[in-house]
Protein backbone atom coordinates (compact mmCIF):
# COMPACT_ATOMS: atom_id res chain seq x y z
CA UNK A 1 0.00 0.00 0.00
CA UNK A 2 1.33 3.40 -0.95
CA UNK A 3 1.09 6.66 0.86
CA UNK A 4 -2.17 8.57 1.05
CA UNK A 5 -1.34 10.95 -1.82
CA UNK A 6 -0.23 8.08 -4.07
CA UNK A 7 -3.37 6.08 -3.29
CA UNK A 8 -5.64 9.06 -4.02
CA UNK A 9 -3.81 9.61 -7.33
CA UNK A 10 -4.12 5.92 -8.29
CA UNK A 11 -6.56 4.98 -11.07
CA UNK A 12 -9.15 4.30 -9.72
CA UNK A 13 -8.53 6.35 -6.57
CA UNK A 14 -7.99 4.38 -3.34
CA UNK A 15 -7.98 1.09 -5.25
CA UNK A 16 -4.75 -0.23 -3.64
CA UNK A 17 -6.38 0.08 -0.21
CA UNK A 18 -9.53 -1.70 -1.38
CA UNK A 19 -7.30 -4.49 -2.72
CA UNK A 20 -5.52 -4.68 0.65
CA UNK A 21 -8.87 -5.36 2.33
CA UNK A 22 -9.66 -8.13 -0.16
CA UNK A 23 -6.22 -9.70 0.35
CA UNK A 24 -6.63 -9.54 4.13
CA UNK A 25 -10.08 -11.11 3.99
CA UNK A 26 -8.76 -13.91 1.80
CA UNK A 27 -5.86 -14.57 4.23
CA UNK A 28 -8.14 -14.50 7.28
CA UNK A 29 -10.90 -16.75 5.91
CA UNK A 30 -13.17 -13.70 5.50
CA UNK A 31 -13.09 -12.71 9.18
CA UNK A 32 -13.67 -8.98 8.85
CA UNK A 33 -12.62 -8.25 12.44
CA UNK A 34 -9.04 -9.25 11.51
CA UNK A 35 -8.92 -6.60 8.76
CA UNK A 36 -9.87 -3.47 10.71
CA UNK A 37 -6.58 -1.67 9.97
CA UNK A 38 -7.08 -2.15 6.22
CA UNK A 39 -10.70 -0.97 6.41
CA UNK A 40 -9.64 2.12 8.40
CA UNK A 41 -6.92 2.83 5.82
CA UNK A 42 -9.46 2.66 2.97
CA UNK A 43 -11.84 5.00 4.76
CA UNK A 44 -8.97 7.42 5.46
CA UNK A 45 -8.14 7.43 1.74
CA UNK A 46 -11.76 7.84 0.69
CA UNK A 47 -12.30 10.72 3.09
CA UNK A 48 -9.18 12.49 1.78
CA UNK A 49 -10.32 11.77 -1.81
CA UNK A 50 -13.65 13.53 -1.21
CA UNK A 51 -11.97 16.44 0.60
CA UNK A 52 -9.58 16.89 -2.34
CA UNK A 53 -11.95 16.25 -5.25
CA UNK A 54 -15.34 17.21 -3.84
CA UNK A 55 -18.37 15.16 -2.83
CA UNK A 56 -19.47 14.68 -6.45
CA UNK A 57 -16.27 12.78 -7.26
CA UNK A 58 -16.63 9.06 -7.83
CA UNK A 59 -14.44 6.00 -7.44
CA UNK A 60 -15.61 2.38 -7.32
CA UNK A 61 -13.29 1.79 -4.35
CA UNK A 62 -15.18 4.12 -1.96
CA UNK A 63 -18.68 4.32 -0.51
CA UNK A 64 -20.61 7.51 -1.29
CA UNK A 65 -19.61 10.45 1.00
CA UNK A 66 -22.67 10.31 3.28
CA UNK A 67 -22.30 6.53 3.76
CA UNK A 68 -18.54 6.91 4.28
CA UNK A 69 -19.11 9.49 7.05
CA UNK A 70 -21.66 7.21 8.73
CA UNK A 71 -19.32 4.21 8.60
CA UNK A 72 -16.40 6.29 9.92
CA UNK A 73 -18.57 7.61 12.76
CA UNK A 74 -19.64 4.05 13.62
CA UNK A 75 -15.96 3.02 13.72
CA UNK A 76 -14.97 6.03 15.85
CA UNK A 77 -12.88 7.56 13.07
CA UNK A 78 -12.93 11.29 12.48
CA UNK A 79 -14.60 12.29 9.23
Overall domain count for the chain: 1
Residue 17 three-state SS: helix
Could you give the angle at the alpha carbon of 42 between the alpha carbons of 69 and 79, nearest 5°?
25
DSSP string, 7-30: HHHSSSTTHHHHHHHHHHHHHTTT
Query: pTM for this one?
Result: 0.92
In contact, 6 and 38? CB cutoff 8 Å: no
Q: Which domain holds residue 49?
A: 4-75
CA 30 from chain centre, in angstroms, equals 17
The answer to whether the Cα torsion of 63, 68, 74, 76 is positive or negative is positive
Q: Per-residue pLDDT tens, the chain, 79 aa: give them.
A: 679 999 999 999 999 999 999 999 999 999 999 999 999 999 999 999 999 999 999 999 999 999 999 999 999 986 5
Amino acid sequence: MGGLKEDIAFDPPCHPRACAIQACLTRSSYQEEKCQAQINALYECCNAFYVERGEEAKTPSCPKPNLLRLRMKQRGQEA
